[in-house]
Amino acid sequence: MPSPTPKPDDPAVGVRTPSHSHAGAPTVLKIVIAGGFGAGKTTAVGAVSEITPLSTEEYLTEASANVDSLEGVEAKQTTTVAFDFGRLSLPDAPVPLELFLFGTPGQDRFVDLWYDLSRGAVGAVVLVDTRRLESSFTPVSFFEDIGLPFVVAVNHFDGAHRYHPEQVRAALELPTSVPVVTCDARNPSHIAGVLLTLVGHAVKYAPAGPNHLTPTTTLQDA
């Protein structure tokens, strides 16, 4: 299994930490958008990206019918088979930010790719569809295991029961240190808010190392 250890000089890392930033230049951060199959990852990246997002969607086929359960997302026709990529500038954040967003494929069988996509990231958003909560355990465990700070964003689907974030925290057995927020993945300001929550969290809980954020009062307050 590939090592999750970030390699600071790897060009795939794509992260310029504050220590490398020029005065006035935005801090460039890589962020992973993860979650179970159909949780809204591609939608979230597309909602906030200021460039046409790169996506790798393929039609679901009958061959995958026994592999990718469509229960709760019966209308779903495509799935991400590699990754989504988008970019978001937040010049008015307390520290100007440029976020590179990498959306993962949802199915557990692509977990090797999750390692690659997580290399050099400062943190991850785990999108949760409460109709299929069980599909969130694998991504949550994944980020716990590799030690990457993450936040949980409950994506409210139309008609789905609305659970309180604390109920979701309890169901996923998350420690109080992990922020749990709610959003609509189609709403750009919701996703921008989730990303700022993640950046603030990542600053606070980043593992020590050359490729990670240094805590600053300003970013913690972002």
Contact positions vs ligand GTP (CB under 6 A): 35, 37-43, 73, 76, 79-80, 105-106, 155, 157-158, 184-186
Interacting partner of 186 out of ligand GTP, Mg ion, none (Cβ under 5 to 8 A depending on kind): ligand GTP
Residue nearest to ligand GTP (CB): 106
Distance from chain centroid for Cα 179: 13
Question: Where in 68-97 is the site for Mg ion (CB under 5 A)?
Answer: 80
The answer to whether residue 201 forms part of the interface with Mg ion (CB under 5 A) is no
Q: Which is nearer to ligand GTP, 79 or 138 (CB)?
A: 79
Smallest CA-to-CA distance from 160 within 139, 133, 134 is with 133
Interacting partner of 38 out of ligand GTP, Mg ion, none (Cβ under 5 to 8 A depending on kind): ligand GTP
Q: Which is nearer to ligand GTP, 13 or 60 (CB)?
A: 60
Q: How far is the CB of 6 from ligand GTP (least distance, A)?
A: 24
At 221, the amino acid letter reads D
Interacting partner of 164 out of ligand GTP, Mg ion, none (Cβ under 5 to 8 A depending on kind): none
Smallest CA-to-CA distance from 131 within 192, 187, 76, 63 is with 76
Q: Which is nearer to ligand GTP, 22 or 162 (CB)?
A: 162
Residues whose CB falls within 8 Å of the CB of residue 117, separated by 6 or more in sequence, listed in order: 32, 83, 102, 104
CA distance 215 to 213: 6
CA distances from 24 to 20, 31, 91, 95 (A): 12, 21, 10, 9
Number of residues that bind Mg ion (CB under 5 A): 3
List the strands of the sheet with 84-90, edge to edge: 84-90, 97-103, 27-35, 123-128, 150-155, 180-183
Question: Where in 14-73 is the site for Mg ion (CB under 5 A)?
Answer: 41-42
Binding site for Mg ion (CB under 5 A): 41-42, 80
